[in-house]
Amino acid sequence: MIVTAEHRTKPYPLGVRVVGDALEVAVYSETADSVDLCVFDDRGQETAHRLQERTGHVFHGRVEGHGVGTRYGLRVDGAWDPANGLRHNAHKLLLDPYATAIEGEFRWDEAVFSHRFNAPEELNPSDSAPFVPRCVVTERSFDWGDDAPPLVPLDETVVYETHVKGFTQTHPDVPEEIRGTYAGLAHPAAIAHLVDLGVTAVELIPVQQFAQDSHLLEKDLRNYWGYNTYGFFAPNAGYSAAGDDGSQVVEFKQMVKALHAAGLEVILDVVYNHTAEGNHLGPTISFKGIDNGSYYRLVDEDRSSYFDTTGTGNSLNVGHPAALGMIMDSLRYWVTEMHVDGFRFDLATTLTRQDGDAEVHSAFLTLIHQDPVLAPIKMIAEPWDTQGYQVGGFPADWSEWNGKFRDDIRDFWGGADSRIGGVAQRVLGSPDVYEASRRSPLCSVNFVTAHDGFTLADLTAYSRKHNAANGEDNNDGESDNRSTNSGAEGPTDDVAVNERRDRMRRNLLATLLLSAGVPMILGGDEMARTQGGNNNAYCQDNEISWYDWAAADTSLLHFTRELIALRRAEPALRPDWYRAAATADPEDTSTSTVDLLRSDGKPFSDSDWDDPAARSIMFVLAHRDRDTFALLLNASENGVEFSVPKAPSAEWELVVSSDLDQLVEAPVSTLVSRDCSFTLLRSRRA
């Protein structure tokens, strides 16, 4: 077929788009010989259309008579030579890397694999089309009305990490037909909980289309967390009440619009470090069959194998323009077309490894920094992968999950060997990590629990994991989750044990919410959500993971609401920077200051910071034109008498304490803090 100038298409944008009464298609591959767009009718009959044009490494063309709602896939022909990294197999129906909606799920037949099970080097000629999902051409327009990003400043941000399905699956005030969906999260009852709690952003663990692992399905389990992406432009259809025919895109946009209207930002947990295709024994879903070596890092000495820094079998080749371009296009799509407000990058360190080593000036980080769409967006790194730990190693305009905060705060309250100096650093926003590179405490996303590990309730109720339901003989998950439980294992009727657990939960939440940085709460911790001691519930799409709204601890919920409200109201508790009170400029009314004091009211000496016996500390936090606060932390197993400094304005008054019997009588010069408790005092500005 000769392509005339009238019908000539362009090699960009990649993917499929509707132009008039036709589809214009563009697919990148350096190694393919041909690319077909395969369209499926309502009966499932396939019609292949060869892309007749090629510009550089992009195959492109026009397919007449099709528009929104078209189901399609790709077939890519080329060399089958695994030893040299070539895995083309035209018998496999492939998903378009740029598909904006995906319909159906995989049936894990051998046909989905390009190789034979008993001979991985041999091509498998079975047609995969009957066993794989279809891409769906979607309507790109949407009535956003007056939607606008909330643009919450980092110093006012409180992140709530949650799961689209688990959050509303059992919510009594959400209609049953939309529970566990984007529509469910957009329901007024769901939004009311978030607004009343006071958080400013929901961080959704993966909502890009992901695969159900065959080994889990064989055990009647499902991938609940979703860290197994294969559709980087497509909202996961399993969370759509409207169906998977493209309606999931509209429903997702409606959810974002509703959350924005309530002042809530939407941050996506994204998994660009690897895909669901796994290693050389994994299925051929998309990238492997299109251009294996451009999209994946292959081992130089053995290009049949994959360089893996993710622990999943493969790593995307961020040193190559095709893979890097796809990631950037995906990020821009979610911002411009889906209106999301930020991203949390799973195993982000892998994305900085162009040539093996993590690089702060990698192409990935540089491209985001200079991109006018992405530069203003909240960017949060999980700053590690299987090859290294990079907390503090990301650029100044990035925030990071601060694992040091989690570990030091848990050790302090849990009675493990720890330094009081480490606790002071964490509460002050980890200046030991960030200040040398002139990064503020707002680069630190603080957390004590996250989806991966114990919930707060379980951290204080279990000293060991209980993962038998995962089907791996309790061998999965972290063996030491730094538990703060020191009583009975699991539920108990022991009043003293339950009272201590309740106190410990408040200690941990208060330390999180009263520390400098950006606090992140694991969804459900505010009401003592339990997973029964399962610290790796990635495969538990059931009551183990879903929020049990009927069992909510309303007292803890009220406590958390009050602390968040206090934090958001008082700049002394959420500073851009802290300065030592003695050195702060008295004329600077915008400065937040801090004094660090021992329980006897005296400053710490150099040797005090490393004293393993030191288990108490007092922070005096002030903002020049606002109230002053004294935060007293006592992690020892006995009561401690604090010598409280003279109140700078009105007499000290009790704000909140994990000791429900804590008394404060003015004037305050000393205060006895019971074992394992915190107390927050306030001196109101006259």
Rg (C-alpha) for the chain, rounded Å, is 27
Q: Which whole-number Å values give the CA distances from 481 to 36, 390, 407, in the listed order?
A: 50, 20, 9
What's the average model confidence in pLDDT over 638-647?
96
Could you count the other beta carbons within 10 Å of the beta carbon of residue 10? Answer: 12
User: Of 382, 385, 400, 526, which is the active-site residue?
Assistant: 382
How far is Cα 255 from Cα 180, in angstroms, rounded to an integer?
13
What's the average model confidence in pLDDT over 372-379?
94
For 326, phi and psi rounded to 5 degrees? -60, -45
How many angstroms from the chain centroid is the CA of residue 623? 32
Q: Report whether pLDDT(392) > 90.
A: no
CB 652 within 8 A of CB 683: yes
How far is Cα 40 from Cα 540, in angstroms, rounded to an integer?
34
Fold exhibited by the domain 5-136: Immunoglobulin-like (2.60.40)
Tokens of 26: 């563009």
β-pair partners for 678: 633
Please work out, in degrees rounded to the nearest 5, the angle formed at the alpha carbon of residue 405 by the alpha carbons of 657 and 527: 50
- Give the pLDDT band of residue 3 (cuts 50, 70, 90): very low
Helix locations, 15-174, DSSP H? 164-168
pLDDT digits (tens, 9 = 90+) for 494-512: 999 999 999 999 999 999 9
**Helices 363-370 & 321-336, crossing angle to 10 degrees?**
30
CA torsion angle for 609, 611, 615, 619 (degrees, to 10)? -10
Q: In the predicted model, what is the mean pLDDT of the chain?
A: 94
Tell me the pairing of strands 159-162 and 518-522. parallel
pLDDT digits (tens, 9 = 90+) for 582-609: 666 666 666 889 999 999 999 999 999 9
Closest CA to 276 of 317, 236, 311, 313: 313
What pLDDT is attached to residue 524? 98
Closest CA to 297 of 270, 276, 282, 279: 279
Task: State the amino acid at position 534 in one-letter form.
Answer: N
CA torsion angle for 668, 669, 674, 676 (degrees, to 10)? 100
Q: Which whole-number Å values give the CA distances from 196 to 171, 172, 193, 561, 650, in the listed order?
A: 16, 17, 5, 7, 30
Tell me the pairing of strands 201-204 and 592-597. unpaired
What is the DSSP annotation of 40-80?
A: E-TT--EEEEE--EEETTEEEEEEET--TT-EEEEEEEE-E
Could you count the other beta carbons within 10 Å of the beta carbon of residue 314? Answer: 27
Tell me the pairing of strands 578-580 and 592-597. parallel
Lowest-confidence region among 385-394, 528-537, 552-561, 604-613: 385-394
Q: Report whether pLDDT(5) > 60.
A: no
Domain boundaries, the chain: 5-136, 580-683
Residue 346 annotated in active site? yes
Task: State the amino acid at position 682 in one-letter form.
Answer: R
The pTM assigned to this predicted structure is 0.96
How far is Cα 39 from Cα 287, in angstroms, rounded to an integer?
19
**Helices 403-414 & 495-513, crossing angle to 10 degrees?**
150
Q: For 677, what's the count of Cα atoms within 13 Å in the CB-facing half-sphere?
A: 22
CB 77 within 8 A of CB 94: no
What pLDDT is attached to residue 589? 61
How far is Cα 681 from Cα 663, in angstroms, rounded to an integer?
11
Task: State the amino acid at position 661 in one-letter form.
Answer: D
Per the model's pLDDT, the better-predicted residue between 97 and 351 turns out to be 97
What is the DSSP annotation of 482-498?
A: -----SSSSS---HHHH
Lowest-confidence region among 474-488, 597-611, 641-655: 474-488
How far is Cα 403 from Cα 401, in angstroms, rounded to an integer?
6
Indicate the CATH number of 580-683 among 3.40.50.300, 3.30.70.260, 2.60.40.1180, 3.30.1520.10: 2.60.40.1180
**Helices 495-513 & 554-569, crossing angle to 10 degrees?**
20
Residue 382 annotated in active site? yes
User: Of 161, 346, 385, 411, which is the active-site residue?
Assistant: 346
What pLDDT is attached to residue 590? 64
Closest CA to 573 of 508, 518, 633: 518
What's the average model confidence in pLDDT over 48-54?
97
How far is Cα 243 from Cα 203, in angstroms, rounded to an integer?
23
How many angstroms from the chain centroid is the CA of residue 141? 28
Q: Would you give the end-to-end CA distance of the chain in angstroms?
A: 85
Peptide bond connecting 13 to the previous residue in cis, omega within 30 degrees of 0: yes
Exposure letters 274-293 (e unless 16+ CB within 10 A, then b): bbbbbebebbbbbbbbbbbb
What pLDDT is attached to residue 367? 92
Query: Token match 């009790």: residue?
Result: 654
- Largest Cα span, the chain: 92
Q: Are domains 5-136 and 580-683 of this chain identical in fold?
A: yes
Tell me the pairing of strands 102-103 and 384-385. unpaired
Q: Give the list of residues 6+ apart from residue 493 with CB closer than 8 angstroms, or none.
A: none
How far is Cα 508 from Cα 521, in angstroms, rounded to an integer?
11
For 302, phi and psi rounded to 5 degrees? -155, 90
What pLDDT is attached to residue 625? 83
Q: Give the list of residues 6+ apart from residue 530 with CB closer than 8 angstroms, or none.
A: 455, 457, 458, 461, 548, 551
Q: Which whole-number Å values give the CA distances from 133 to 92, 572, 636, in the listed order?
A: 12, 53, 57
What's the average model confidence in pLDDT over 207-217?
96
Q: For 350, what's the count of Cα atoms within 13 Å in the CB-facing half-sphere?
A: 24
What's the average model confidence in pLDDT over 345-362?
81
CB 217 within 8 A of CB 231: no
What pLDDT is attached to residue 582? 66
pLDDT digits (tens, 9 = 90+) for 264-306: 999 999 999 999 999 999 999 999 999 999 999 999 999 999 9
Q: Report whether pLDDT(2) > 50.
A: no
Closest CA to 18 of 76, 74, 97, 100: 100
What's the average model confidence in pLDDT over 526-531?
98
Q: Report whether pLDDT(480) > 70.
A: no
For 309, phi and psi rounded to 5 degrees? -110, 15
